[in-house]
Every structure is written in C-alpha cells, then in structure tokens.
C-alpha cells in the first residue's frame, strides 16, 4: 500500500512526498523528527506469491545488506543510516541528496562537456573502487542514479533493494537477481543460467553512463547490440569534440565480452587520466603530452538550477520486471580483483623529456637517490617521476618492487639515535591571505600511494571550518614501511616556503608531513609536527633544504636547493612508536611564505593530550568573565561562563530590559546583582563609514558601490592611504572590530571572520563561523556564538585572537543562549 503524506513510521520518519515508484517498491522523501533533517526512505514490497520461508530469507538478506551498506563512508556515495521493517515491508533510510540528476542535466543540455564528465567519472570510479574493496557491487549505475550536487560533486545513489541468492542453489540466485536497466546493463547480468557478475559489471555500466553523458544519447541495450552490432555507434561519431583517448576508454569499458573490459574501477579511472596502471601493484605512468585534470574546482561549467532529489528518482526498471536492484556482496569466489596502487599525476610538457622507470612511493624517513637515464621513444612522452623507495632494511638494488630493472639507488643514512628530532610544533608567523589551499569542501583527486595502510575520506564528523574535513584512518602492520601517503598534485604560485594543516588528533604522536615537488621533480618533506590529542591543533613546518629528517629530501635529483615553481604533492602520516591503528582528522591545508621558530609553541585550537578539556562545571555561584542571557520561554536568566570552563553557571532571573541583550553598560538580575559589560571598539558595516582605531592613529574606511565594498586603511592625521585591504561583499551583520592596542582589526566575508593589520597588506581567515563576535578587554580572545542542535539554539565559544584554540564554554542543558558579552 502506498504511504501517504504525513504518515509516521517507527515514530520517527514522517512521509513528505513520493519521489519514485516501481513494481516492487518506492522512494519517499521523509522528515526525521528526531534529528530534524530530511531523509530518503526506500521501501521494498515483497514480490507476490513468495512462500513464507523465501520471504523470511529475503528480509534477513535485506537486513544483512543494510548493515553492510551502513558501514560504507565515501564522499561520492549516498549514506545509509537506518533499516527497519514495518507492516510487512522493509525500509532503508538514506541521506537526502540535494542536487540535480545527471539524466535531467543531459535532457536539458544534451551532450555534456568532456572535462566536466571526466571529473564526475573520476569521482564515481573512486566511489566504486571503495565499494568493490568492501565487497559490494552496485549493479544499476546509470545517469538517473547519479546526482550532481550544488557544489558540483557527483554522488552515486540508489543502493539498497537487494537480491536474495544462495551460493549452494543457483536457482534461487537467478530467480531473485536484479536485472538492472537495459541500456546500462552488460549481457552477463541477464544470464539466467550462470548469472556471474563481478567488478566488470559495474565497469560496463559506468562506460554506458559516460557514453550517454558525452553523446546526449543513451546506448543501445546489450541484446540490441548482439542482434544488430551496427546500432552501437562510436562515441566520436555522435560527438566529434570527445577526445580519442576518452572514446577508446568508453568503448573498452562497454565491451560485451567480460574479459575485454577494464578489470577494475581503478584501471578505468587511470585510463581516463591518460595513465596505465601496471598489474601486481606497480604503477607505470603513460601520459600524453597534455595537462591532465587535477582539481575539481577548475574548469567547472555554470550550474543549472538545483532541486531536491534523492535515490536516483524513479525506482529502476528492475523493480518493474520483478527483479530486485542494488547491491551484491562479493563472496564465494567473487573476491575483488587485486588492484594497483595509485601514484601522482605529473604534468607533462608537450616536448619530449627523459623517462625513467618509476619505483614505489618515497619513504618519509629514509630515501634512495636515483639517476635518471634518458631514452628516446616514439610513443607518447613519459615524464621522469620521483624515485620512490621504501625504507630499506638492506642496501637497495637497481630493481623495482615489481621486478622491473630500475635506476641504481644509493641509500641515505638512517638517522642515528643522537639525531635531533622536533618535539615541538612551530608556530605559523603569517597565515596565507587567500585562505586555505585545501579545505576538503570539494574532495578533489586524492589517491593513496603504494603503502596500503590506511584510507582518507571526506567527513563531517569533525570539522574545523566549512562543512567537511578529511578523516585519515590508519592501520600499520609490523613492518619498516609503517607510513601511508595520500597524493594530490596542485600547482603553487609564487615562492611559498611554509605548509600548515589543522589536525584533530588521537594522541598517537605520529609524524604528519607534507611533500612538495619542485621544478626539477625533486620531492621534499615538510615536517608539520606530531599528532597530539583531541582538539584542533594547527601544525606547520618550513620547506627548507637544510632541515634534517623528518624534513628534507625524499626523492628525485638532489641538488640541495628548492627549485621554484613548486607543487603540493602529498600528505603523509608516518608512525613513530605510537598506536598501530586509529584515525585523525585534517582540515584547511595552507601554504604561504614565512619563517617558523623552531622553539615556538604549538598553535592549538582545542585541548591536547597534555591539556585535557575542562569537564567539570564551575563551582556553584562562581562568576566568570563572560555573561549571557538564557531565554527560557516566559523567563530570562542571567548566566556566566569563563574561557576555562566547559559549561555555564546560572546567576539569577533577569528582566530582558536589564539583560545582556538590552545594550546597556551593565546587566542586572532581579535581586540587584549588577555586572559591568565590555563591548569593545566596533563600528557598523555601512557606507560611508570611517572607523577609528582605539589609539586614533588609523581608521578603517568603507565605501560601497552597488553590492561591493572597498575597505582601506588610512592614517587619521593626514588621511594618507596605508593600504587597500579588500574589495567585495561584506557581512553587514558583523561589525568592524578593533583590537584594544590598535594592532589589528576584524571584518567578515560571508560567515568567515578575517583579521588584518593596519601596518601590513593582506588579511587572513580567523574563524569559519563567528556570530556576534566580541574581543576581550585585553584583545587576547574572541567571544562568539555557533549554532547547535535544534534551529535557533546556540552555544557560546571563545578562541584566541588569531582563531586558534576554539572551544565551547556553555555546553550545558539550557538551550537558547543569547547576547554573550565580556565582563569588564
């Protein structure tokens, strides 16, 4: 029976609307009344005529598959969050994905630009590789099951309605198999006799999906192709703008014979990038003379209108024909094919360059220097890649791990016990004015190196700024190669020499390093610091040829200098003597030009392993340095907290007119307790505006034309222009804030608070979200609000003046906290 609008399931999920329906189920948009978020609810109706035992087995299998799917966590996969049965039907609960279906984009625009389609293909194939590694086949990939989010990311959806099969009874396996959607399903998916599908089944469906996106025309079905081979037109016949390489990849992916397709999703992704992955774990780069796509932000076309969509729209044709679509676990001989490790994309110039045989990922602690041997070739030019060696236990030979003859390696000396190693994290002196290089809001093209001892995924579990960070899970064996590398190649302008990253640690003390590749293809390690305990902490280090391990030369021609321009190359987690498994979070990777003090203290934004967070409430009756108002419906309370506390303390009942929200110089309870408030040196954002510094030497001048502000600093005495700080939109709800000593001021762009100095050019982001910010009387700390829980609820936070060490200081049962102010 069709669910109705407003119907409540499990006392939690309220039906909002029907999104799609087929012969054996439906997809609904629903509202999770517990978490107050929209979800997608996928219903499986039992096939008529099933005997009770078969039905019980089907439901059991469905629940098992739901548990498997719930463990999947990938930025380009829809997330399964719940499973339940009600009134004889089974349901999956999944994230509601906001965006536009790829099918709708094709219907509206026809053939889509190749660069954009290849970007999506890389994301989808990465998601499939992750699924396959976890024993899951999708088996119904098609444009209708790909959602393009507002930020341009592709998300693969429509997992869930599973088939029932018994490995000891092929008939059961055949009877319950989902057939997929004909235009995108390979012939083995229709084989009712043996019915063997594997990783290459999904490869075919991706190829057919790309064919449709690049040509604007859905491909013929496998049965049509077998009956009339001429129906399948080459891709460039339909769209001559498609490159020969892309056409060749799509044609190979959609071969009717299973053995003629790519063996894995990784292999297909590498081919689309112009690479060839060698078998048995080696990696050989073969890149035509062109720059490959590198980051998702580049070359993105203007988006069409965005509308709410979930789970691929209409339930697939397989539901109508009586099959059941979705996920199949790989089991009983259907284990994933071994995959090759990925390596970095190197930009290849159009001219011929010497080539060398690549070797494994560079060791972050000990390396070998290779001599490149120039060779001539009539095939597409190869670029010399960095020599990548594991930490050797004996003298390296001139043979790579895969047995291919390689350049002779000279071992570097192993650091001796007396070698000084950094024990404290340097402090960044000048964060980048333009913000972080990598924010993880768009995942980009991250790939893991040769050491398979971890994975890095996009997450919203712990985030310092924006909506996403990176979660790095590690699982090191007992080996000398106890490190893991995650590669993303990004060009860097200018001559940056400092790298920083915000880390939420696990107390492992493992080394976090960044690798930088210079113009001579030499790879350098920048040691950022040791991973501390819980709480966000900024680690940073200098790119310096004179620094010793764990900084310094990693691979490539060692000439003792940094040859600019340089590229960001990789993030590396290197185990010390800490835990062998665990996870950390990374956010806002930045590069800039500046020097770090080797003895500076860490820039922490939260409690570390040596400074645990305050967990106990303040003593009863104690008053802190911060005051705020609690809205309890018909009653207001005056409350207090302190930067050293983890929750607030109610002082007493207050009238709203005498609370911290009244705008007066004091706040007072009904029994007469009075507290002085400090508002700081601030000016509204308006035009024209002249906001003087506390010492009267400078003034911030604002002028608006249309919707754009110009913000400059002038000397008050003679109105001389000191600097033109910023031009663009400003958040008019956040005032200009001056530090009490006039050394810097703050302004907000969208929700991000920035800081600038009147004596130096540029500005830098300080806090990603700062509602009602106030500086403390001594200028050392910022007070602000952040939303939590239900709509309208906030907690009060403090941070250092530079944005470091943010912490919640009102984690208490009261909900609506208003108008936080510093006491004087």
Catalytic residue among 122, 140, 588, 795: 140
Q: Are 165 and 172 a contacting pair, CB within 8 Å?
A: yes
Burial 677-686 (b: 16+ CB within 10 A, else e): bbebbbbebe
Q: Are 646 and 613 a contacting pair, CB within 8 Å?
A: yes
Does pLDDT of 738 surpass 60? yes
For 773-808, the pLDDT digits (tens) are 999 999 999 999 887 754 557 889 999 998 888 888
* Nearest C-alpha neighbor of 292 from the set 221, 237, 347: 347
- Distance, CA of 323 to CA of 195 (rounded, Å): 13
E strands in 45-194 = 80-86, 89-95, 100-101, 136-137, 146-148, 154-156
What confidence score (pLDDT) does residue 506 get?
86
Most confident among 9-18, 413-422, 815-824 (mean pLDDT): 9-18
Q: Are 745 and 739 a contacting pair, CB within 8 Å?
A: yes
- Distance, CA of 355 to CA of 279 (rounded, Å): 20
In angstroms, how far apart are the furthest CA atoms of the chain?
92
What confidence score (pLDDT) does residue 329 get?
33
DSSP structure string for 123-157 = HHHHHHHHHHHTTEE----SGGGEEE-TTS-EEE-
What confidence score (pLDDT) does residue 229 get?
84
pTM of the model: 0.40
Does pLDDT of 509 surpass 50? yes
Q: Are 802 and 814 a contacting pair, CB within 8 Å?
A: no
DSSP structure string for 269-314 = HHHHTT-BPPSTT--B----SSPPP--TTTTPPPP----B--TTSS
Does pLDDT of 605 surpass 50? no
* Nearest C-alpha neighbor of 485 from the set 522, 513, 526: 513
- Distance, CA of 603 to CA of 605 (rounded, Å): 7
Instruction: Match 């999947």 to its residue by tokens.
Output: 72
The pairing of beta strand 552-555 with beta strand 523-530 = antiparallel
Does residue 642 carry a catalytic annotation? no
Domains of the chain: 8-329 (1.10.510.10), 447-605 (2.60.120.260)
Name which residue leads in pLDDT, 197 or 563. 563
What confidence score (pLDDT) does residue 610 get?
28
What confidence score (pLDDT) does residue 633 get?
67
Token pair in block for residue 529: 């610091």
Give yes or no for a cis peptide into 688 (omega within 30° of 0). yes
What confidence score (pLDDT) does residue 812 get?
59
Helices 199-215, 265-272: crossing angle, 10 deg rounding: 30
């Amino acid at each position: 029976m069709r669910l109705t609008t407003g119907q409540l399931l499990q006392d939690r999920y309220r039906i909002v609307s029907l999104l799609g329906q087929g012969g054996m189920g439906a997809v609904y948009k629903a509202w999770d009344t517990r978490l107050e978020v929209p979800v997608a609810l996928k219903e499986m109706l039992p096939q008529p005529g099933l005997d009770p035992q078969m039905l019980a087995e089907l439901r059991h299998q469905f629940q098992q598959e739901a548990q498997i799917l719930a463990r999947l966590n990938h930025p380009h996969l829809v997330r399964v969050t719940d499973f339940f049965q009600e009134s004889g039907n089974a349901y999956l609960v999944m994230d509601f994905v906001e965006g536009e279906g790829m099918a709708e984009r094709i219907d509206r625009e026809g053939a889509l630009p190749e660069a954009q389609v290849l970007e999506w293909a890389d994301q989808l194939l990465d998601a499939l590789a992750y699924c396959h590694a976890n024993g899951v086949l999708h088996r119904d990939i098609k444009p209708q099951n790909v959602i393009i989010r507002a930020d341009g990311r592709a998300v693969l959806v429509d997992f869930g309605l599973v088939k029932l099969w018994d490995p000891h009874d092929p008939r059961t396996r055949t009877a319950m198999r989902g057939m997929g959607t004909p235009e995108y399903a390979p012939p083995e998916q229709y084989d009712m006799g043996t019915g063997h599908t594997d990783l290459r089944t999904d490869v075919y469906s991706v190829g057919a999906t790309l064919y449709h996106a690049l040509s604007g025309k859905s491909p013929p079905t496998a049965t049509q192709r077998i009956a009339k081979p001429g129906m399948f037109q080459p891709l460039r016949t339909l769209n001559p703008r498609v490159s020969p390489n892309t056409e060749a990849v799509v044609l190979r992916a959609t071969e009717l014979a299973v053995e003629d397709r790519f063996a894995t999703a990784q292999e297909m992704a590498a081919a689309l990038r112009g690479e060839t992955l060698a078998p048995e774990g080696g990696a050989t780069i073969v890149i035509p003379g062109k720059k490959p796509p590198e980051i998702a932000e580049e070359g993105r076309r203007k988006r069409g209108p965005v509308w709410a969509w979930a789970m691929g729209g209409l339930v697939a044709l397989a539901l109508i024909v009586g099959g059941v679509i979705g996920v199949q676990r790989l089991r009983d001989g259907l284990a994933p094919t071994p995959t090759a490790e990925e390596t970095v994309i190197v930009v290849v110039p159009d001219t011929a360059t010497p080539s060398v045989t690549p070797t494994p990922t560079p060791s972050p602690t000990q390396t070998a220097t290779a001599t490149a041997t120039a060779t001539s070739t009539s095939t597409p030019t190869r670029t010399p890649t960095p020599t990548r060696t594991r930490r050797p236990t004996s003298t390296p030979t001139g043979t790579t791990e895969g047995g291919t003859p390689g350049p002779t390696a000279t071992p570097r000396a192993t650091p001796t016990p007396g070698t000084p190693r950094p024990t404290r994290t340097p402090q960044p002196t000048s964060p980048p004015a333009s913000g972080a290089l990598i924010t993880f809001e768009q995942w980009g093209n991250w790939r893991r190196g040769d050491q398979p001892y971890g994975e890095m995924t996009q997450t919203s579990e712990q985030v310092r700024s924006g909506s996403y960070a990176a979660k790095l899970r590690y699982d090191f064996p007992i080996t000398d190669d106890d490190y893991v590398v995650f590669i993303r190649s990004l060009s860097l302008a200018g001559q940056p020499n400092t790298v920083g990253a915000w880390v939420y640690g696990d107390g492992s003390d493992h080394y976090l390093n960044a690798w930088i590749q210079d113009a001579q293809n030499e790879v350098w390690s920048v040691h950022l610091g040791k991973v501390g305990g819980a709480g966000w902490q900024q680690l940073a280090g200098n790119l310096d040829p004179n620094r010793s391990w764990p900084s310094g030369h990693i691979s490539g021609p060692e000439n003792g200098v940094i040859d600019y321009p340089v590229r960001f190359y990789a993030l590396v987690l290197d185990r010390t003597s800490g835990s062998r498994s665990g996870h950390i979070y990374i956010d806002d990777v930045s590069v800039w030009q500046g020097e770090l003090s080797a003895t500076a203290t860490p820039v922490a934004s939260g409690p570390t392993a040596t400074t645990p967070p305050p967990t106990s409430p303040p003593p009863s009756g104690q008053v802190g340095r911060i005051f705020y108002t609690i809205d309890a419906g018909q009653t207001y309370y005056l409350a207090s907290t302190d930067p050293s506390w983890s929750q607030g303390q109610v002082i007493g009942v207050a009238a709203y007119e005498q609370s911290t929200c009244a705008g007066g110089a004091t706040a007072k309870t009904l029994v007469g307790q009075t507290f002085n408030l400090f508002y700081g040196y601030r000016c509204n954002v308006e035009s024209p505006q002249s906001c003087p510094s506390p010492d009267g030497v400078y003034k911030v001048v604002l002028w608006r034309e249309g919707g754009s502000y110009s913000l400059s600093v002038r000397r008050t005495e003679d109105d001389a222009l000191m600097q033109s700080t910023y031009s663009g939109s400003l958040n008019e709800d956040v005032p200009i804030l001056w530090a009490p000593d006039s050394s810097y001021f703050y302004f907000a762009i969208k929700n991000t608070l920035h800081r600038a100095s009147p004596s130096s050019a540029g500005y830098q982001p300080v806090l990603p979200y700062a509602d009602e910010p106030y500086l403390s009387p001594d200028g050392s700390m910022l007070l602000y609000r952040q939303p939590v829980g239900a709509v309208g609820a906030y907690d009060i936070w403090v941070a250092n003046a530079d944005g470091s060490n943010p912490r919640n200081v009102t984690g208490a049962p009261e909900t609506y906290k208003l108008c936080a102010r510093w006491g004087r």
